[in-house]
Amino acid sequence: MKVLIVGSGGREHALAWKIAQSPQLTKLYAAPGSAGIAQLAECVPLKADDLEGLAAFAHREAIDLTVVGPEAPLALGIVDRFEKEGLKIFGPSREAAQLEASKAFAKNRMNQFGIPTARHEVFTNINEAKHYVIEAEMPLVIKADGLAAGKGVVICRNAQEAVEALSSMMTQQTFGAAGSKVVIEECLEGEEFSVLAVTDGERILPLASAQDHKRAYDYDRGPNTGGMGAYSPCPQVSEERFQEIVNLVIRPMVDGLRKSGILFRGILYAGIMMTKEGPYVLEYNVRFGDPEAQAILPRLKSDLLQIMIEAAEGRLQIPALEWHDKSCLTVVLASGGYPGHYKKQIPITGLDSAQAADSACVFHAGTARDSAGKWVTDGGRILAVSGWGETLKSAYDHAYQAIEKIKAEGSFYRRDIGKRALEVYR
């Protein structure tokens, strides 16, 4: 089979790495891909949002399946475009992708289908929003309604912080048009983790549990990022409890959308806060998480390509996913200044040494080759190192032993990924 992966980040590198293991694969392309992905696939110079160009390429090369990595092309309607032209593609339609593209849409659907989520209000008028936060009980959370690369969420401890966050989003347009509408909600407390499932619109196959680490610095300090690390599975959630949560937050959404005329096919991701009162949905995403994909996919024993084909065709037949009985932990190396301003073209050393271990893998996110063919930085999140082992502790050790070998001036990484789980669930 000939497969095209749309995207260029660490998640797409992990997808390429896993799909390349399928015995059904004959040729792998990536658009636009990256220098890292080029080690596994032929990269083509088409942007992820060039729907016309991507469809033309898929026709010309007789692509059997297109796999969409990032959320932006899904929100633009790449699946609708491909399906209209008779091209097979893995991912949800534009209408279904609103679950991620609009937090207000997602909240409305959660309320409609009885899915537990935080109390909230939606605003398009900044003065009304400011008046609300001045009177509201603190802390609270302000979210840009649209796509903001995982960074459009601000936890506010007092009214001044809330007013500043509103001004940043709605007046200064820090997140562009995504912040023209905001969702303001109560701040939930508890343990966060991620629930992902593949679905054909009716049948659901849960993936393994994972926990992401969003804040830039150790001990969950600093600004929100696209994700600084993850691990899988989560020892704080039993398999039985995990399935209960799937039935509480994934099944009602898939069934509810279908009954309302929206068929969701692809990956549905629910960000969960496990509170004292039970699990609440923080957000939905409509694709693999990044870096959750880098922590989950190394544990997957089943053929990912076969799963995607069946879901795209609306005929999931695999009775259950098979998993390696091991843990995986992923640590992200970021450029100095990320998630704010950062420099590019900084030399990277130690990649070969880090990749040499059979218990770790390096997934490239923001890297490139210079004129001499050497690795340099090319993004905020440079790469993710995934380590695996029989226990979470051994996965932790392997990941950090590998990432310590990689050097790029000014770069940093969190040193506490998975540490809280290790301390509580030894």
Alpha carbons 118 and 136: distance in angstroms, whole number:
14
Residue that the structure tokens 């030894």 belong to: 426
Is the separation of the CB atoms in 33 and 43 below 8 Å? yes
Alpha carbons 335 and 204: distance in angstroms, whole number:
38
Residues 6+ apart with CB under 8 A from 83: 89, 93
Could you give the C-alpha distances from 264 to 5, 23, 93, 113, 304, in angstroms and in order? 20, 27, 7, 15, 18
Right CATH for 2-91 from 3.40.50.20, 3.40.50.720, 3.40.47.10, 3.40.630.30: 3.40.50.20
Alpha carbons 56 and 78: distance in angstroms, whole number:
12
pLDDT at residue number 311: 97
**Other Cβ atoms within 10 Å of 68 Cβ, number:** 29
The two tokens of residue 271 are 């960000």
Domain parsing of the chain, residue ranges: 2-91, 125-180, 191-312, 327-424
| Among the listed residues 384, 388, 179, 409, the one whose alpha carbon sits nearest the alpha carbon of residue 298 | 388
pLDDT at residue number 149: 76
Kindly report the CATH class assigned to 327-424.
Answer: alpha beta
Task: Note the Cα 323 to chain centre separation in Å.
Answer: 20
pLDDT at residue number 358: 87
Amino acid in the structure at residue 174: T
**Other Cβ atoms within 10 Å of 347 Cβ, number:** 12
Burial 212-227 (b: 16+ CB within 10 A, else e): bbbbbebeeeeebbbb
Domain 2-91 identical in fold to domain 125-180: no
| Among the listed residues 325, 326, 344, 323, the one whose alpha carbon sits nearest the alpha carbon of residue 335 | 344
pLDDT in tens, the chain (426 residues): 999 999 999 999 999 999 999 999 999 999 999 999 999 999 999 999 999 999 999 999 999 999 999 999 999 999 999 999 999 999 999 999 999 999 999 999 999 999 999 999 999 999 999 999 999 999 999 999 999 877 788 999 999 999 999 999 999 998 999 999 999 999 999 988 999 999 999 999 999 999 999 999 999 999 889 899 999 999 888 889 999 999 999 999 999 999 999 999 999 999 999 999 999 999 999 999 999 999 999 999 999 999 999 999 999 998 889 999 999 999 999 999 999 999 999 999 999 999 887 899 999 999 999 999 999 999 999 999 999 999 999 999 999 999 999 999 999 999 999 998 998 765
Alpha carbons 321 and 301: distance in angstroms, whole number:
8
Is the separation of the CB atoms in 90 and 266 below 8 Å? yes
From its phi and psi, is residue 418 left (phi > 0), alpha (psi between -120 and 50) or beta?
left
The two tokens of residue 99 are 């679950």
Kindly report the CATH class assigned to 191-312.
Answer: alpha beta
- pTM (2 d.p.): 0.94
Q: At what angle do helices 251-259 and 103-113 cross, to 10 degrees?
A: 90
Alpha carbons 339 and 118: distance in angstroms, whole number:
26
Q: DSSP secondary structure string, 321-357?
A: --B-SSEEEEEEEE-TTTTS------B-B-HHHHHHS
Is the separation of the CB atoms in 231 and 295 below 8 Å? yes
CATH number of 125-180: 3.30.1490
End-to-end C-alpha distance for the chain, whole angstroms: 44
| Among the listed residues 341, 330, 333, the one whose alpha carbon sits nearest the alpha carbon of residue 408 | 333
Cis status, amide bond into 23, omega within 30 of 0: no
Is the separation of the CB atoms in 417 and 231 below 8 Å? yes
Alpha carbons 75 and 49: distance in angstroms, whole number:
10
